[in-house]
Structure 1
């Protein structure tokens, strides 16, 4: 009996060593840069040049000497792109690493990439970028001095966490605030709040709102879940058809649709954001930040995105939950009325 147990243990040991050798051989014989350009982007969501830049940036933070930096970054980007569980990605023929090894690599690569967020996700815009944004919203929708749009999106979480993560739609999530510009680049992301938090609560307690409140003469477009402020334009509540307010709401909805398209593109590019996230909230926040970072880098390079078609600039229905907050006093309503009157 004892000899039989030893024999079984030896057999399992040899099988494990064989698996490790096969994985290493597959990795060594695989070169992801031989993939056609479109297939490469479809697999890793970035082009080859950007991929190499990312490898150079995160390389100094990676510790495993037995697995190349290229393979480690490829494994993480493939995971974010497909939304597959770690085991599925680890068995990918271009990756071929153990599940526990991939878990360690995921945390290392995400942590290293998050260091790049500060310089690539910022509400600070150059004068040229501000002018481009103003021109875009005015020429297409007749809205003056608009430089950003804001909205919230829910990212699903496991049920095991606190009821704070139960959102108004009945499932557990993190409510992430997204602010974007005319080019669908993300200027700010806040994924630190549970799903039970209302969009307006996150906005009112954000540094992003504080920043835009100091940008005199510029506007942020938001839906009816936010309060009207001197620098935040929201739609009118229940306007009469064909009235000045109704026309304003139609144009407002069409212009603000760009933030919804931005969120749609982000989640389409990184399907990991569409699944149930099996990690603690702090790490989920880091991955969301990294996805936004990669999204911005791709937008600036006009990277091909095969699985997403942008919507036409049509007037979507406005059925967002209205905020319970009192709309700001002062000249906010007068500013909105003045813009609405200019549409007639």
Structure 2
């Protein structure tokens, strides 16, 4: 039995088929667009990996390299040679790229977009988190031992004595000490002890520097609520200096106690007296401490920003930055940008503390050595 289909019925059937295809087209078009975007992302990812594998950070110009990482290529290679002996080989990221990502963060304090947008690095945020937690403790162990040290030979000690005597008429000066705050996020545990008198969460670090603005000792283990003199009194640096350099002096501001090896300014010194002349010279000499901290924070901008890690890890970051600062000072590496940094919070507090101390009714602790130095300063 044959089924006879008229021309009209055939046309109607064809029309239905066409309509069904038209209905499905938007869905098919959406799938096609999604697939095109997916393939483009894969191509971009492959290109990114190709650039990362075939473009070394060392191919950058010397000027741009220092500006980007705050260290020169020779210092970068030296650090790389040390750390790669303790790292496993990676199939995706070279040790050079990983170190560059860490140095870029230390230089800028930004790991979200600065590190990710640089095609020499191009490391995602989650990947960078793993890298920095692997590199910072390793760099602390490898760099801080030799990079930060109180041990000085006789020639270095004599250089320090000659510098302070010639420039400020202050004899037998070995170093300067002061404290500075580094901002951190509100810690999960015991957050109240990290809240300082300036109104933010921080680590309060004791810094000891020499005449050449090199950091001799750093103690960043104390929370922001601790004052400078407390940290100094319980530091290993003070214990070491009291035993080995008792015939030499450390300069400190009025927030510290006057001791046999710690010179602080006179309280309530009248203008024109030998006490006032001593205070003026003392203040001028202690500015080295401010310049040292300023250069440290200018070179490694992460220390100007809020450190977004746990306090123990923040301490490690600070230690690494101090060691790198010393290496750069010894190698005469420029900062890369002629932009200074002044810690107004620290300056403000120091001035206020001095004003409060200046109007105290208590007398100065007697110190014949300080009086002898003050009387020897020419008019």
| TM-score of the superposed pair, with normalisation by structure 1 | 0.89
Correspondences of 1:13-162 after superposition (within 5 Å): 17-63=42-88, 64-115=90-141, 116-161=143-188, 162=191
**Counterpart in the other structure of 1:334:** 368
Match of 1:171 among 192, 200, 208: 200
Residue segments in structure 2 that go unaligned for 5+ positions in a row: 1-26, 342-346
Give the RMSD, CA atoms, in angstroms.
2.7
Which deviations, in whole Å up to 9, do the C-alpha atoms of 1:279-328 show, x marking residues without a partner? Answer: 000000000000001000000001122324679xxxx997252599x999
Q: Distance in 2 between matches of 1:119 and 1:327?
A: 42
Q: Distance in 2 between matches of 1:13 and 1:338?
A: 79
Q: CA offset at residue 16 of structure 1?
A: 5.9
**Counterpart in the other structure of 2:320:** 290
Q: CA offset at residue 53 of structure 1?
A: 0.5
Seen in structure 2, the aligned counterparts of structure 1 residues 25 and 185 have a Cα distance that, compared at 3 Å, is same
Q: Distance in 2 between matches of 1:86 and 1:56?
A: 27
The answer on whether the counterparts of 2:111 and 2:125 sit within 8 Å (CA) in structure 1 is: no
The answer on whether the counterparts of 1:27 and 1:95 sit within 8 Å (CA) in structure 2 is: yes
Q: CA offset at residue 334 of structure 1?
A: 1.1
1:237 aligns with 2:264: no
The answer on whether the counterparts of 2:53 and 2:94 sit within 8 Å (CA) in structure 1 is: no
The answer to which structure has the higher helix fraction is: 2
Q: Distance in 1 between matches of 2:275 and 2:288?
A: 21
Question: Where does structure 1 differ by over 6 angstroms across 4 or more consecutive aligned residues?
Answer: 3-13, 326-329
**Counterpart in the other structure of 1:249:** 279
Seen in structure 2, the aligned counterparts of structure 1 residues 87 and 128 have a Cα distance that, compared at 3 Å, is same
Seen in structure 2, the aligned counterparts of structure 1 residues 91 and 295 have a Cα distance that, compared at 3 Å, is same
Seen in structure 2, the aligned counterparts of structure 1 residues 327 and 82 have a Cα distance that, compared at 3 Å, is farther
Q: CA offset at residue 43 of structure 1?
A: 0.8
Seen in structure 2, the aligned counterparts of structure 1 residues 164 and 6 have a Cα distance that, compared at 3 Å, is farther
Q: CA offset at residue 90 of structure 1?
A: 2.6
**Counterpart in the other structure of 2:334:** 304
Secondary structure of the structure 1 residue equivalent to 2:221: strand
The answer on whether the counterparts of 1:122 and 1:187 sit within 8 Å (CA) in structure 2 is: yes
Secondary structure of the structure 2 residue equivalent to 1:321: helix
1:226 aligns with 2:251: no
Q: CA offset at residue 183 of structure 1?
A: 0.7
Q: CA offset at residue 91 of structure 1?
A: 2.8
1:274 aligns with 2:304: yes
The answer on whether the counterparts of 1:152 and 1:178 sit within 8 Å (CA) in structure 2 is: yes
Aligned length: 335
Q: Distance in 1 between matches of 2:371 and 2:91?
A: 63
Which deviations, in whole Å up to 9, do the C-alpha atoms of 1:70-89 show, x marking residues without a partner? Answer: 11111111111011134431
Q: Distance in 2 between matches of 1:60 and 1:86?
A: 28
Seen in structure 2, the aligned counterparts of structure 1 residues 42 and 108 have a Cα distance that, compared at 3 Å, is same
Q: CA offset at residue 155 of structure 1?
A: 0.5
